[in-house]
Amino acid sequence: MHFIVGVEYDGLKVGTHIIPFGYAQRSVAGAAGDPLDTHRIVIHTYEAATRFSPCCIPPGSGPNANFPSAIDERTQRLWEQGSNLIGGIWSRDGFLRWYSVAVRFQVEVVGSHMEKLDARLFKLVSTQE
């Protein structure tokens, strides 16, 4: 798990940094962030006028391995109570799915390292020849 942090301008949120954080617990079945560490990041991003989205990496592979679980949706609902955050889930082999519970959003990825497969699903691609 980590946060993607960035800036917001005129309703457009641009992710610029990936911020890892400590865990209170971690296993193949799930993880929970250390409350003090995640709180520190939330306060820091708020004071720096930046925005963030939570992302995680479950144990599966493929484009269908990164749908949010009931726990992901419950956690996302809590995040959305305070902000218009969206979540992201990576598969082990590079598929990224963005999701929300109630926030309407559109995602565009700039650059040549991601292929857009549908409105919320992207695939990490190699640019090596």
Positive or negative: CA dihedral 40, 45, 49, 55: negative
Residue 129 in domain: no
Number of domains composing the chain: 1
The whole-number average pLDDT for the span 44-52 is 67
Residue 128 or 71, more confident: 71
CA 17 to chain centre: 12
pLDDT in the model for residue 121: 94
The answer to whether 100 and 80 are in contact (CB under 8 A) is yes
What is the rounded CA–CA span in Å between residue 86 and residue 98? 7
Q: Whole-model pTM?
A: 0.70
Residues of the domain holding 111: 2-124
The whole-number average pLDDT for the span 90-106 is 89
Asked whether the predicted pLDDT for residue 129 surpasses 60, the reply is no
pLDDT in the model for residue 13: 73
